[in-house]
Structure 1
């Protein structure tokens, strides 16, 4: 096997994220063949030996990866561990014999489809900003959303950190006094993005559920349950991410943004 950057090897093996690997390398905690390494250094996974904090890391060749879909319930953190002892999604997949990591995040108060795997390359592909695999959310807000507020969010709004969101597609599912149910499709994944988008236009999220990611749908999977992804689903997700990465346009930071369409969903 050809030499690869050390952080890529560690991420592909599911040992840690690429960012965490870079932090460990910069802190001098990673050695290859007994010698400290720096950022940008490479290794051959077939021959070189790597250690972190003096502990040897087992490199698995041609490993079989595990890919699952979890219906995350509300009240669970999307993290591998919590120093305050709160419930995490790992509690729901404790019987899976693999070192799973979440693919992206759903905040504690949100629910729905969450992909998990031990394939670091797959995680990097789907979470990379240029991947842009669409995620579908069903969102209940109050008070009732006006057309102007929905158009604002679909066109892109400035969040509380000064960053402007990308245009997105929004369908109005239910529109009644006191509340509106929306279906929102995002191609980016900022922290608590939908809640912050709604807050920016004066709306409060009452319920948020992710029902699909790319071509993969949550279906009838019940809260707290999980299932393995089919090979065709894994391939479809990978192809969707790679396609979007190749076709992602290069845009200037201050280029004007076009509003997304605003069709109303038929019952």
Structure 2
């Protein structure tokens, strides 16, 4: 049965449908040796789909869901044109091609989810999805009352309005301030750009939770499989964690 190419790529766990559409527009996808276009349809198991000259295939069996405690110094992608270390290098023992859900910039660390479930990736990265993401952010100097109030207020990032971000001061010590910030949307480098706007210099940024999912005792650079209950929670099913 035919289906849209971007849906097939998402179902294969390669990326979200929206991301697949962008890659198709860039000419990076071929079907049976012919450059694909938006609107191209494929029959799984019959048509040969290549992305960057690599075959796109449906994963066997059940999907895989992973939590990684990302170290700084890794880019959140499966392949990097500049040859930098990728987060997928840390989960090769899984034995399956998995892809990150969302992003953490190279200098940041903390909780990152990876999967081969394209449908879940699509759900969690869609703008209307509002699962909170919690970050610990250490900044240089002591935050002023004016800076604090600005972070709590509506702001603009790259010309787009963003929702107010709940910000709490956890600690002031040795000329630095530790903040905890909760995001319900995830624009590119949002926290760094917010802090830059108010004159705060970030020294350390770590995502510690996505909704009810926390790192627990997972050490930096380590990963583990999500439990069935955690997967159900992310999918919005009953019997949440």
Q: State TM-score, norm by structure 1.
A: 0.78
Query: Any gaps of 5 or more consecutive residues in structure 1?
Result: 241-267
Higher Rg: 1
| Alignment counterpart, residue 186 of structure 2, candidates 186, 189, 196 | 189
What does residue 104 of structure 1 align with? 102
Counterpart CA distance in 1 for 2:209 and 2:20 is 30
Structure 1 position 11, deviation (Å): 1.2
Question: What secondary structure sits across from 1:153 in the alignment?
Answer: helix
What are the superposed Cα offsets for residues 101-159 of structure 1, whole Å, 9 maximum, x if unpaired?
11111111111101011111111111111112110001111221112211211212223
CA drift of 1:188 comes to: 0.9
2:208 matches 1:211: yes
Query: Is contact 1:157-1:200 (8 Å) kept?
Result: no
Q: Distance in 1 between matches of 2:138 and 2:193?
A: 14
* Bigger strand share: 2
Partner in structure 1 of residue 146 of structure 2? 148
Structure 1 residues 236 and 180: alpha-carbon distance in aligned structure 2, compared to 1, 3 A threshold: same
Change (3 A) 1:97 1:149: same
Task: Check 1:49–1:217 CA distance in 2 against 1; reply closer, same or farther (3 A cut).
Answer: same
CA distance in 2, matches of 1:81, 1:52: 15
Measure how far apart 1:42 and its partner are. Answer: 4.1
In 1, distance between residues paired with 2:192 and 2:58? 40
CA distance in 2, matches of 1:90, 1:24: 19
Q: Tell me how far apart the structure 1 counterparts of residues 206 and 108 of structure 2 sit (CA, whole Å).
A: 6
Aligned to 1:158: 156
**In the aligned structure 2, how far is the partner of 1:56 from the partner of 1:208?**
36
| C-alpha spacing 1:224/1:56, structure 2 compared with 1 (3 Å) | closer
In the other structure, the counterpart of 1:139 is: 137
Q: CA RMSD in A?
A: 2.6
2:92 matched residue in structure 1: 94
Please show how residues 186-265 of structure 1 align to structure 2 within 5 Å: 186-239=183-236
Native 8 Å contact 1:216 1:237 kept in 2? no
- Equivalent residues in 2 for 1:26-105, closer than 5 Å: 26=25, 27=27, 29-31=29-31, 38-43=37-42, 45=44, 48-52=46-50, 57-60=56-59, 63-105=61-103
Question: How far apart, CA to CA, are the structure 1 residues paired with 2:200 and 2:16?
Answer: 34
Equivalent position SS for 1:239: coil
Q: What secondary structure sits across from 2:160 in the alignment?
A: coil
Which region of structure 1 is more displaced relative to structure 2, 106-115 or 82-91?
Answer: 82-91
- 1:22 — aligned with what? 21
Long gaps (5+) in structure 2: none
